[in-house]
Structure 1
Amino acid sequence: MDTENEITLRLRFHKDIKENSASLLLKFENYSKIKSDDFTIKTSDNHIWLDIIASKRKYWTPHLHLELEPKGEKSTHIRGLYGPDPTLWTFFMFLHFIIAGVFLIFCAIAYSDYILKNSITIDIVIMALMVLFWLLLYYLAKSIRKKGHPQMNELEKYFHSILKS
């Protein structure tokens, strides 16, 4: 998967397999019972999570979420989503909402100051800083994804090895 030209931060993929979802889920459940030196597998209904073991995890370590969708009796559509640690993702979303909230508040204040014929310089500067912080968050998320790219490749290889078994 070529991730260098992707704009999205959470990479997605789709795959059709000529095997029913029950047997695929059974494969992943069997692999989850085998202790791996590098990976853990969790399953719930038609959802599967592949993670790097805790001792090898860094803050940029991705995880892989798979959703199995039956397409008839002998084929399955797999939706995959690579993402950061849920705690890190929640923190990033929190920061995005704070930045957006501050931007909107100062946008309203700037409008009020403009109507009242007061100076709007400070309001515009703060709004520009919020845009700069948002761009900084985006760059930071891209660099975190780049650091996690080798582990993402490991997760993908492990996923394909389970499918081939």
Structure 2
Amino acid sequence: MDTDNEIRLRLRFYKDVSENIDALRAKFAKYTEIKSNDYFVKIRGYHIWLNIKGAQKTYYSPHLHIELEKKTETETHIRGLFGPDPTLWTFFMFLHFMVAGIFLIFSGIAYSNYVLKNPITMDLVVMALMVCVWFLLYFIAKQIRKSGHKQMDYLDDLFNEMIAS
């Protein structure tokens, strides 16, 4: 998977495996019993999370969410989603909503000032700053994803190892 050419911040993949969904889930369940210092596996129904743990875990460490879907009796469709730590993702979403709220508030103020024939320069400056902050948040998120690229490859290799076992 070439992550450098992706615009999306949360990378996805899809895979079809010619194996029963319950047999495949059992393979992942076997890895929950292994006590590793590098990763842990959490399973809820047909949703599986692979997470980095221990000394390797940093603020940019990704996790892998895998969803198993029954395609036929002997085939399973797998949806994978790499994402940042949920706390970091929530913080970024909070920042995005704050920026959007400020942008909308100042666009309303700018419209009111325009209708009242008052100067709107300051309102437009704040709106332009919010657009710059949006781009800045995007590039920060890209940098965080790039920092976690090695760990993303590790989780991908671990996922493929679990399927092959």
**Aligned match of 1:153:** 153
Counterpart residue identity of residue 141, structure 1: A
How far apart, CA to CA, are the structure 1 residues paired with 2:38 and 2:164? 18
Secondary structure of the corresponding residue to residue 124 of structure 1: helix
**Aligned match of 2:55:** 55
Shift of 1:54: 3.2
Secondary structure of the corresponding residue to residue 22 of structure 2: helix
Counterpart residue identity of residue 49, structure 1: W
**Aligned match of 1:4:** 4
**Aligned match of 1:22:** 22
**Aligned match of 2:124:** 124
Matched residues, number: 165
Unmatched 5+ stretches in structure 2: none
Under a length normalisation based on structure 1, what TM-score does the superposition of the two structures give? 0.99
Shift of 1:55: 2.5
- Percent identity, please: 60
**Aligned match of 1:107:** 107
How far apart, CA to CA, are the structure 2 residues paired with 1:99 and 1:126? 10
Under a length normalisation based on structure 2, what TM-score does the superposition of the two structures give? 0.99
Unmatched 5+ stretches in structure 1: none
How far apart, CA to CA, are the structure 2 residues paired with 1:158 and 1:62? 13
Shift of 1:39: 1.1
Secondary structure of the corresponding residue to residue 16 of structure 2: strand
What is the aligned-residue RMSD (CA, Å)? Answer: 0.6
